[in-house]
């Protein structure tokens, strides 16, 4: 099967959507499918070591939905996209977040192949979808397969674009994160390491973790906060660290995919204090695979992963006192940490890339059948708009 995986986001920049696409690419390639990744990128395919990356446009940062999306907004790509799609004649085109401007919209508009979409976004009542429904309903009709990464995403999309959504989660390479690797030696000094992994954006809630850590540090001097991820710290958090003279807060910066398991396996506790607008939470699955117990915000996207108290501790979002209490429980109870880590490791296997890819392939096969059925009933004068 010849598959195109389409991302609207800068493929050189880490994020949940691109991480999922990477796992599908690796698994499909292992199964013998031909895969091309269509995405904007701030780096060339050679620099990224991705020979099958088709670089379509240079991304620019666009604020929105509590984050910054690095997307391409160039309409001058139209001739290149039309020519490329006609030349490649894909068996199926898989678009991720297809309503994110501009690349997926253009690919969908000019596709002559069966089209499958995975919806990753959960916006908790974004009114813009009322407008999108009116503008994009014709494009939506061009989709033969519909995937949502979690029940909250399915329920959200159904309100605006009703369809038969298959709930298929984001995938991770469980073995990559579960296989024993060398922890970071300098952090193996007897202190309890609390790990944060993610972009330092407002919706990731890092300031609430910092407030909780500040409260905990007085009572638990032998704790450390490890911060892994790109971007710079906001002014308020900088000020908090200085005014409170917080010690043992280590900003690691961006870490390669290869080295990321070392940080998970250095941690005693993983914390995800996001405030909302999370559709799934790949970092939660990565932590589970590494057997790290989790304290996270009780938001719909995270709750679909941490579905019981045996898998982690959920606390109200934006509540640093509750966050501190949840972290304190695990700091004081290594037996509970071990139990949660063990349960998480068992639970996370459903997100392994081989299982997820198999489910996606079934959607592809059904979409191809639907496409062929649609084509057989068209008259020669029919056009797809």
Tell me: do 76 and 117 sit in the same domain.
yes
Question: Which residue in the block uniquely carries the two structure tokens 């499909």?
Answer: 28
Beta strands 223-228 and 269-272 are unpaired
300 within a domain of the structure (yes/no): yes
Q: What is the mean pLDDT of the chain?
A: 91
pLDDT at 62: 87
Tell me: do 372 and 339 sit in the same domain.
no
The encoded tokens of residue 359 equal: 């489910």
**CA 23 centroid distance within chain:** 11
Taking each helix axis from N to C terminus, what angle separates 103-110 and 128-140, rounded to the nearest 10 degrees?
30
Helix count and strand count (H, E) for the chain: 15, 15
* CA geometry: angle 63, 141, 380, nearest 5 deg: 135
**pLDDT per position as a tens digit, 335-361:** 999 999 999 999 999 999 999 999 999
230 within a domain of the structure (yes/no): yes
Quote the domain boundaries for residue 123.
Answer: 2-171+352-377
pLDDT at 4: 98
> Whole-model pTM above 0.75?
yes
Average pLDDT over residues 208-234: 92
By C-alpha distance, which of 94, 97, 162, 86 is closest to 123?
Answer: 97
301: pLDDT strictly greater than 70: yes
d(CA 50, CA 344): 32
Average pLDDT over residues 47-72: 87
Q: Which of 39-48, 57-66, 213-222, 375-384 has the lowest mean pLDDT?
A: 375-384
Tell me: do 151 and 253 sit in the same domain.
no
188: pLDDT strictly greater than 70: yes
306: pLDDT strictly greater than 60: yes
Is 317 strand, coil or helix? coil
d(CA 204, CA 198): 7
Tell me: do 17 and 164 sit in the same domain.
yes
382 within a domain of the structure (yes/no): no
**pLDDT per position as a tens digit, 70-123:** 999 988 999 999 999 999 999 999 999 998 889 999 999 999 999 999 999 766
Q: What percent of the chain is modeled with pLDDT above 90?
A: 72
Confidence of residue 385 (pLDDT cuts 50, 70, 90): very low
Q: Which of 179-183, 184-188, 315-319 has the lowest mean pLDDT?
A: 179-183
Tell me: do 141 and 196 sit in the same domain.
no
Tell me: do 82 and 34 sit in the same domain.
yes
The encoded tokens of residue 207 equal: 């300031």
Tell me: do 89 and 208 sit in the same domain.
no
Tell me the Ramachandran region of residue 291: left when phi exceeds 0, alpha when psi lies from -120 to 50, beta otherwise: left
Phi first, then psi, for residue 28 (nearest 5°) are -65, -40
**pLDDT per position as a tens digit, 111-161:** 999 999 999 976 655 556 666 666 677 889 999 999 999 998 999 899 889
The count of structural domains within the chain is: 2
Neighbours of 380 (CB within 10 A): 4
339 within a domain of the structure (yes/no): yes
**pLDDT per position as a tens digit, 250-299:** 999 989 889 999 999 999 999 999 998 888 889 999 999 999 999 999 99
Q: What percent of the chain is modeled with pLDDT above 70?
A: 94
Query: What DSSP assignment string belongs to 25-53?
Result: HHHHHHTT-EEEEEE--SS-HHHHT-TTE
**pLDDT per position as a tens digit, 307-320:** 888 999 999 999 99
């Amino acid at each position: 099967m010849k598959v195109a995986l389409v991302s609207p986001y800068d493929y050189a920049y880490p994020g949940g959507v691109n991480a999922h696409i990477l796992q599908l690419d690796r698994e499909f390639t292992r199964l013998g499918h031909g895969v091309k990744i269509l995405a904007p990128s701030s780096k060339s395919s050679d620099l990224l070591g991705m020979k099958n990356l088709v670089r379509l446009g240079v991304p620019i940062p666009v604020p929105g939905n509590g984050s910054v999306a690095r997307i391409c907004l160039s309409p001058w790509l139209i001739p290149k996209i039309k020519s490329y799609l006609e030349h490649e004649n894909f068996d199926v085109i898989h678009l991720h977040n297809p309503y994110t401007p501009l690349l997926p919209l253009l690919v969908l508009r000019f596709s002559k192949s069966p089209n499958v979409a995975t919806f990753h976004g959960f916006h908790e009542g974004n009114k813009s979808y009322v407008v999108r429904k009116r503008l994009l309903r014709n494009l939506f009709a061009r989709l033969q397969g519909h995937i949502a990464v979690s029940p909250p995403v399915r329920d959200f999309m159904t309100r605006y674009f009703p369809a038969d959504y298959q709930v298929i989660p984001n995938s991770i390479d469980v073995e990559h994160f579960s296989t024993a690797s060398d922890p970071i030696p300098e952090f193996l000094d007897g202190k309890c390491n609390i790990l944060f992994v993610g972009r330092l954006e407002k919706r990731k809630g890092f300031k609430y973790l910092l407030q909780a850590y500040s409260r905990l540090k007085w009572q638990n001097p032998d704790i450390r906060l490890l911060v892994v991820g790109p971007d710079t710290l906001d002014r308020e958090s900088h000020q908090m660290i200085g005014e409170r003279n917080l010690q043992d807060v280590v900003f690691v910066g961006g870490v390669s995919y290869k080295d990321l398991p070392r940080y998970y396996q250095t941690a005693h506790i993983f914390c995800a204090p996001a405030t909302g607008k999370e559709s799934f939470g790949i970092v939660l699955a990565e932590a589970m695979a590494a057997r790290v117990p989790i304290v996270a915000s009780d938001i719909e996207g995270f709750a679909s992963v941490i579905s019981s108290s045996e898998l982690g501790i959920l606390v109200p979002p934006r509540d640093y006192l509750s966050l501190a209490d949840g972290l304190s429980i695990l700091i004081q109870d290594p037996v509970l940490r071990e139990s949660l880590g063990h349960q998480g490791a068992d639970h996370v296997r459903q997100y392994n890339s081989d299982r997820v890819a198999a489910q996606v392939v079934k959607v592809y096969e059904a979409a191809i059948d639907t496409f062929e059925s649609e084509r057989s009933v068209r008259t020669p004068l029919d056009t797809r708009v």
